Homo-oligomer: A and B are copies of this chain.
Amino acid sequence: MKNSKNVQKYMFGNGSINNLKQILNDKESNSNYLIYYIDEYFKNSELFYKIPITTNDEVFFVQTKDEPKTNFINDFRDILISKNKNNPTAIIAIGGGSTLDTGKAVANLLTNSGNAEDYQGWDLVKNPGIYKIGIPTISGTGAEASRTCVMTNPKNGLKLGMNSDYTIYDQLILDPDLTKTVPREQYFYTGMDTYIHCIESLNGRYRNAIGDAFSKQAIALCREVFLSEDMMSDENREKLMVASYLGGCAIANSFVGVVHPFSAGLSVVLDTHHCIGNCITMNAMEEFYPKEFEEFNLMAQKQGIKIPKGIASNLDEETYQKLFNSTIIHEKPLSNALGDNFKEILSYDKVKEIFKRM
């Protein structure tokens, strides 16, 4: 039975980012500087000039071409130590899943010895991290509510987060104004992460009434957003930001299913980003999630979004073997979806055939 931890506080509403300064002023601290991680997309943007940065603060722009790697996190930690800036009042992350996860990982690493890779796993973080504020600028991953921060260790290819109660944000600012400038494709792919992890949860064997309730409401909101005429209207961007938060809460009480393991395979072997990887995978999931497969395609069609096809249809045998290994390793979600005998269903040939179908 899980003892689920919530984000401590959240502020929701258009323009809520303007309250960041007040929230920081209300926070007691012995320190007089802040650390910002900001998605590089916002360098010199209108948003950037709204952030109350002072000369003492350290600002890092996070590149999102690659998803977080353990050595990135170690490097950020080393820079802060070399500048004697390793005990800030707060770490503030402003961006999408990669940026939010970077903020979480650095906050943990500043108060725990060793390197990021030492904490990939479950409940390995020993000390509470630095107080941290998450400000999402795109909706869907649920990173703002979850107890993990996904990182890849380039040395051994392990893609796994610091799953810990200490990884959860202390404060969220959920400002739907910040998602206005998201490119349409990206908005769809990322939003679909919520839809997909919630339909996986609801179709799984390990469920409870509270996880179900979060998933159902998140899906209801995704339907309102993606089956409407304009998924990016003011009202729909608000709804998707709420859906993302609730989807993160749902995951805290349940498990994902078949989609996420295949998407993880794409990510580890072909460097496909998580959210588009989910959508590419979803397109090959008709046999596992027939109704949702249909609804997913209806949503994509309604919003005029094309899901890339054929990215894994003509690979060599060695690559298929790697994809198979990186997929089948995810025992918890696969047994949640298919039962303890999932390896009988997902033979090498079957997995290869599914990748070819994508």
* Per-position binary interface string of chain A over residues 202-228, scored 1 when its CB falls under 8 Å from any chain B CB and 0 otherwise: 000000111001101100110000000
Judge if A13 is at the interface, Cβ distance under 8 Å. yes
Task: Quote the shortest CB–CB distance from A339 to chain B (angstroms).
Answer: 21
Judge if A341 is at the interface, Cβ distance under 8 Å. no
Judge if A51 is at the interface, Cβ distance under 8 Å. no
User: Would you call A4 and B9 a contact (CB within 8 A)?
Assistant: yes
**Cα of A217 to Cα of B217 in the assembled complex, Å:** 6
Chain B residue nearest to A26 in the complex (CB)? B3
Judge if A358 is at the interface, Cβ distance under 8 Å. no
**Cα of A238 to Cα of B253 in the assembled complex, Å:** 14
Chain B residue nearest to A12 in the complex (CB)? B210
User: Would you call A12 and B4 a contact (CB within 8 A)?
Assistant: yes
User: Would you call A174 and B11 a contact (CB within 8 A)?
Assistant: no
Q: A53-61, A239-247, A272-280, A314-322: which one contacts chain B?
A: A239-247
Chain B residue nearest to A1 in the complex (CB)? B13
User: Would you call B210 and A221 a contact (CB within 8 A)?
Assistant: no
Given the contacts A210-B174, A246-B213, A4 and B13 also touching, CB distance less than 8 Å: no
Judge if A10 is at the interface, Cβ distance under 8 Å. yes
Given the contacts A216-B220, A217-B216, A253-B12, A241 and B209 also touching, CB distance less than 8 Å: yes
* Per-position binary interface string of chain A over residues 1-44, scored 1 when its CB falls under 8 Å from any chain B CB and 0 otherwise: 11111111111110110010001000000000000000000000
User: Would you call A209 and B239 a contact (CB within 8 A)?
Assistant: yes
For A217, list chain B residues within 8 Å (CB): 213-214, 216-217, 220
- Give the A interface residue count (CB, 8 A): 39
User: Would you call B3 and A23 a contact (CB within 8 A)?
Assistant: yes
**Cα of A9 to Cα of B1 in the assembled complex, Å:** 13
Given the contacts A210-B242, A216-B217, A217-B217, A19 and B1 also touching, CB distance less than 8 Å: yes
**Cα of A13 to Cα of B210 in the assembled complex, Å:** 9
Task: Quote the shortest CB–CB distance from A213 to chain B (angstroms).
Answer: 5
User: Would you call A208 and B3 a contact (CB within 8 A)?
Assistant: no
For A213, list chain B residues within 8 Å (CB): 217, 221, 239, 242-243, 246
**Cα of A12 to Cα of B13 in the assembled complex, Å:** 29
User: Would you call B19 and A9 a contact (CB within 8 A)?
Assistant: no
For A11, list chain B residues within 8 Å (CB): 1-4
Chain B residue nearest to A18 in the complex (CB)? B1
Chain B residue nearest to A3 in the complex (CB)? B11
User: Would you call A13 and B208 a contact (CB within 8 A)?
Assistant: yes
User: Would you call A9 and B3 a contact (CB within 8 A)?
Assistant: yes
For A174, list chain B residues within 8 Å (CB): 210
Interface hub of A3, A4, A216, A243 (most chain B Cβ within 10 A): A3
**Cα of A91 to Cα of B3 in the assembled complex, Å:** 18
A-B contacts besides A5-B9, A174-B210, 19 pairs, CB < 8 Å: A1-B12, A1-B13, A1-B15, A1-B19, A3-B9, A3-B171, A4-B11, A4-B12, A6-B7, A6-B10, A12-B209, A12-B210, A12-B253, A176-B209, A209-B235, A213-B239, A213-B243, A216-B217, A217-B217
A-B contact pairs, 5 of them (CB 8 A): A6-B10, A12-B253, A13-B208, A213-B217, A216-B217
List residues of A whose CB falls within 8 A of some B CB: 1-13, 15-16, 19, 23, 165, 171, 174, 176, 208-210, 213-214, 216-217, 220-221, 235, 238-239, 241-243, 245-246, 253
